[in-house]
Amino acid sequence: MSIGAAAELLRESANTVALTGAGFSTASGIPDFRSEGSGLWKIHDPMEVASLSAFRTQPQRFFEWIHPLTVQIFAAQPNPAHQALAQLESLGILQLIITQNIDGLHQRAGSRNVIEVHGSLERLTCVTCQSVYPAGDFLPTYLEQHSMPRCPECGGILKPNVILFEEQLPFEAWQRAQDAARNCEVMIIAGSSLEVMPVASLPMQALDAGAKLILINQNAIYLDPRADVILNMDVAEALPQITSVLQLKSYVTMPTTSVM
């Protein structure tokens, strides 16, 4: 019934935005590096290795720490939840994805309108000369030899384009995300417990502007009382079900529109 209610809200909305977090990619085998459940937290406190100041003083430690996560991300495949959002976009039902994830799996599933508010592991920037490189050029050496990627131009250290602790969100991406939140009619929040600021403020901005919320999370979160539909399910189960309801409806109405 809630699946139907979610599908109905989406069908009526002219502007829908999805906000996705770490729970979206766990079905692809990628741990949430900020949560204690991931093995990464046991080795080091992420604040001690994944902050901007730590990167500047001890980049080698950062690259050692993020190595297992990098291996998992580049071996991962989009899961049915990623595919469902890509289908919703191609059906014209979903206008934009705002993601906290750095794994690039939305794009690999075929989604085109994606704002990566925490950046992406797909590119690297030289800390000395600011040149930007695709990660793929440096990945095999880093994954095999654990060596820090260096700028071919100046020899500076290449920093992945991910937002570290203590670092501001990319200005332009953050502005676009806020505009989208304030202008959407429906926001789907999927696989995010919304504990990380400032991204956690986006649903409140959407609500203040009159948007409706669909929450898809395994567990209850603090926004539940404000939601129009709550699905306490795995995103990889819920989103494909919603998508098939909507595909069925668009298929049923297709003959009418094609006559016109």
- Report, in Å, the least distance between residue 150 CB and Zn ion: 8
- Report, in Å, the least distance between residue 128 CB and Zn ion: 5
- Report, in Å, the least distance between residue 159 CB and Zn ion: 11
Instruction: Name the active-site residue from 67, 82, 118, 146.
Output: 118
CA distance 123 to 158: 9
The CA–CA distances, whole Å, from 151 to 36, 126, 156, 234 equal 33, 6, 5, 41
Choice between 39 and 155, CB closer to Zn ion = 155
Choice between 129 and 254, CB closer to Zn ion = 129
Which long-range contacts (C-beta less than 8 Å, at least 24 apart) are formed by 244-247? 245/3, 245/4, 245/7, 246/7, 246/10, 246/11, 246/88, 246/91, 246/93, 247/87, 247/91
118 is catalytic: yes
Q: Which residues sit at the interface with Zn ion, rule CB under 5 A?
A: 126, 128-129, 131, 151, 153-154, 156
Choice between 90 and 141, CB closer to Zn ion = 141
Choice between 151 and 180, CB closer to Zn ion = 151
Please, what's the b/e burial string for 58-96 (b: 16 or more CB within 10 A of its CB; e: otherwise)? ebeebbebbeebbebbeebebbbbbbbbbbbbeeebbbb
- Report, in Å, the least distance between residue 154 CB and Zn ion: 3
Full DSSP string of 173-221: HHHHHHHHHHH-SEEEEES----STTGGGHHHHHHHTT-EEEEE-SS--
- Report, in Å, the least distance between residue 132 CB and Zn ion: 10
CB distance 170 to 163 below 8 Å:
yes
Choice between 128 and 183, CB closer to Zn ion = 128
Q: Within 13 Å, how many C-alpha atoms sit on residue 47's CB side?
A: 2
Annotated catalytic residues are 118
